[in-house]
Amino acid sequence: MKLKPAPKPATLRELKLRLEADTYGELEAYAELYEAEYEDAIDVPKLAAEILRQFLQNDRAFRSWKKRQVRERRRLRLSNGPEAPADGGEARP
Instruction: For the chain, give every domain's residue range.
Output: 21-79
Residue 31 to residue 41: CA distance in whole angstroms: 7
The length of the chain is: 93
Q: What average pLDDT does the chain have?
A: 87
pTM above 0.75, yes or no: no
Residue 39 to residue 62: CA distance in whole angstroms: 32
pLDDT band at 51; cut points 50, 70, 90: very high
User: 81 near 75, Cβ under 8 Å?
Assistant: no
